[in-house]
Structure 1
Amino acid sequence: MQKERSEVNTLEKSLESMSRQEVEDFLYKEGDLLDHWKLDEWLTLYTEDAQYLIPTNDLRAGDPENDLVYINHDFERLQALVVRLNNSRAHREYPWSRTTHLITNVRLLGVEEECLMITAPFMVWRFRNKDAEYFVGHYRYALKLGGGQLKIRSKHILMDMTSLRPAGAISIIL
């Protein structure tokens, strides 16, 4: 009964009335799904017109249409990424890395173009074999309500690291 009441409340919510705690819980859920390699479930958090973008460290405001970026995935490419990472032939991530996604200081910036704009610093630790690597930066999310649930319209990842050298490559989902 409590769960049903919660689902009804979410359906009646608007982006403007979302609390920081609700948004934080959503972001923590995303991190938890990634840390437990529940990639198919993670993908359901995204809208079908989603963008997952990581510009280069030296050009954080880079436009993927005109500038080199590390990653610029639409929903179709995210689907392909999930298929690849779930496959034992993905040599870079099999056996799977252990990851820990840490998210803090979540700020709700307001609603723009039917999306709730969010920013939050992050640190992601990746452990594989005897290696430990980290990624540090800021997330910028645009969240939408779809089917009464929060969905990620865009996730823009700004790296605070001056280079990827400590981490080597981005082979995990940040």
Structure 2
Amino acid sequence: MTDTLAEKNSLTPLLADPRVARAIELVWREADLLDRKEYDAWRALYTEDGHYVIPIDPETEDFANTLNMVYDDARMRRMRVTRMTEGHAISAVDAARTVRTVSRFVPVEVSDQEVMLRSAQVVVAYKRGTHDLWAAEVTHRIRLSEPDDRIALKVVRLVDSEDVVPAAGFLL
């Protein structure tokens, strides 16, 4: 059975759902791992068929056929983590320190197999005496499975995705 917001009069029952709580906890764990630069552990949070996407077009759902800032499958996530951890890329050598806040969780779909959440994310990055602010609406599709739930999809829709966006040497 799948619960959707259209079928519910209130968010409260969905937010109290233990499946939703598990999904939110996984999103928070992901943010913590990224802030601590534990990229191998972050990569392990994803399903093998999962995607990490930062689209340019804020309305697109067809990520495979539109231009994206990031469109990573498992192979690309492995390569990205290698670049960020081996110290050969300038983004790894001089990486920004980050603090993420992820909140305003809205369950979009809930089933015994998956939870889709929308949330707001703010990333503050500090590098060379300068703070950068990244704000986005994020969608996570969490695949529920024992013993560990996994991220099947993460879409980061930056509020300024259609403008000039400064380079981010870290994961959003």
The answer to whether the superposition gives a TM-score over 0.5 is yes
Tell me how far 1:111 sits from its aligned partner: 3.0
The alignment's C-alpha RMSD in Å is 2.2
Matching residue of 1:27: 27
Please report the TM-score for the alignment, with normalisation by the length of structure 2. 0.81
Tell me how far 1:62 sits from its aligned partner: 5.4
Tell me how far 1:28 sits from its aligned partner: 1.3
Q: Is the 8 A contact 2:141 2:154 kept in 1?
A: yes
Matching residue of 1:5: none
Distance (Å, rounded) in 1 between the aligned partners of 2:121 and 2:111? 23
Q: Is the 8 A contact 1:62 1:68 kept in 2?
A: no
Q: Is the 8 A contact 2:142 2:153 kept in 1?
A: yes
Matching residue of 1:134: 133
Distance (Å, rounded) in 1 between the aligned partners of 2:105 and 2:58? 24
Tell me how far 1:39 sits from its aligned partner: 0.6
Please report the TM-score for the alignment, with normalisation by the length of structure 1. 0.80
Tell me how far 1:25 sits from its aligned partner: 2.1
My pick for the range that moved more, 118-127 or 90-99, is: 90-99
Q: Is the 8 A contact 1:20 1:107 kept in 2?
A: no
Tell me how far 1:54 sits from its aligned partner: 0.8
Structure 1: unaligned runs, 5 residues or longer: 1-16
My pick for the range that moved more, 156-165 or 23-32, is: 156-165
Secondary structure of the residue that 1:157 maps to in structure 2?
A: strand
My pick for the range that moved more, 73-82 or 143-152, is: 143-152
Secondary structure of the residue that 2:63 maps to in structure 1?
A: coil
Q: Aligned partner of 2:27: which letter?
A: L
Q: Is the 8 A contact 1:49 1:74 kept in 2?
A: yes
Identity %: 21
Q: Aligned partner of 1:25: which letter?
A: E
Going from structure 1 to structure 2, the CA distance change for 1:95 and 1:171 (only over 3 Å counts) comes to closer
Structure 2: unaligned runs, 5 residues or longer: 1-16
